[in-house]
Amino acid sequence: MPLNIVVCLKQIPNPDLQFQIAADGKDIRRDALNYKLNGADEYALEEAVRLKETHGGRVVALTLGPKRAEQMLREALAKGADEAARVTYDDPAAFDVGKNARLLAAAVRTLPHDLVLTGVQSDDYGNSATGGLMAGLLKLPHASVVTRVAFAGGRLEVACELEGGLQRVVALPTPALLSIQFGANTPRYAPLPAIMKASRQPIKEIGPAALGLTGWDALAVPYSFGIRGLSPPGAKGGAEMITGSVEEQAKRFATMLREKGFVRR
């Protein structure tokens, strides 16, 4: 059975570079950065292409971001994606996990999809939230930290990594959304002819208005939040070990957050 697969990709600043905080304190300085495909998304893309090669179908690489993200989409095309689409969103500092998930979910609804894949987390924020939020918005069954995907008889069988070297194997109906773990496969290199072909392929641009989403009120969801500010880490040392019962530890931790100004009431 051919599969229509949508793989969601994110372009991130190269984590090997030294970052500086912008003057407004709400973002990093981006004037001298270079960017790359998010690490976990490399495995999601590879899994999508392998499933297409085994079962047939099409892979659409989807991202949310500014024009520069098209370089990453062309890399995905060179590695085996059939189409690429970008939801136009040009404010690099406007991170909001609920808002981003809402935009991506709306874009997925416009595409045929038997399977939606994401990386398990992003290297820059590391929230591991986008896949789960999208699944809830799309009302799709969801599995996270997926290390193996098999498809037979119209159903998925996936292995999910647990702590302590254990794994859980679950069966899911399709359509479904999976968040792929690091190391689930070995991502391929793009051959030169494929890179040259990908440089000429069109990339679809989707504006929020075309998705029926305009303005903050239309995008907001109950769990949305925005960045209040960034600051460099303080001096090393000064850590405190929290002991006692779970309830005592939770109370002490909440008090510490209020004392440090992370939580305001």
- Delimit the domains of the chain by residue range: 3-219
Beta strands 176-180 and 142-152, pairing class: parallel
> Range with the lowest mean pLDDT among 45-54, 152-161, 179-188?
152-161
Backbone angles phi, psi at 79, to 5 degrees: -90, 0
Tell me: the pLDDT tens digits for 192-220?
999 999 999 999 999 877 787 765 444 55
β-partners of residue 205 are 86
State the average pLDDT over residues 259-263.
69
| 1 vs 149 pLDDT, higher one | 149
Task: Mention every residue, 6+ apart, whose C-beta is less than 8 A from residue 239.
Answer: none
Under the banding of pLDDT at 50, 70 and 90, the label for residue 226 is: low
Q: Which of 184, 85, 86, 177 is nearest to 133 (CA)?
A: 177
Comparing CA positions, the residue from 67, 68, 79, 81 lying closest to residue 8 is: 81
- Residue-wise pLDDT for 45-98, tens only, equals 999 999 999 999 999 999 999 999 999 999 999 999 999 999 998 765 556 788
pLDDT of residue 253: 79
Structure-token pair, residue 198: 């990908």
- The CATH number of 3-219 is 3.40.50.620
Tell me the pTM: 0.80
Q: State the average pLDDT over residues 135-155.
A: 91
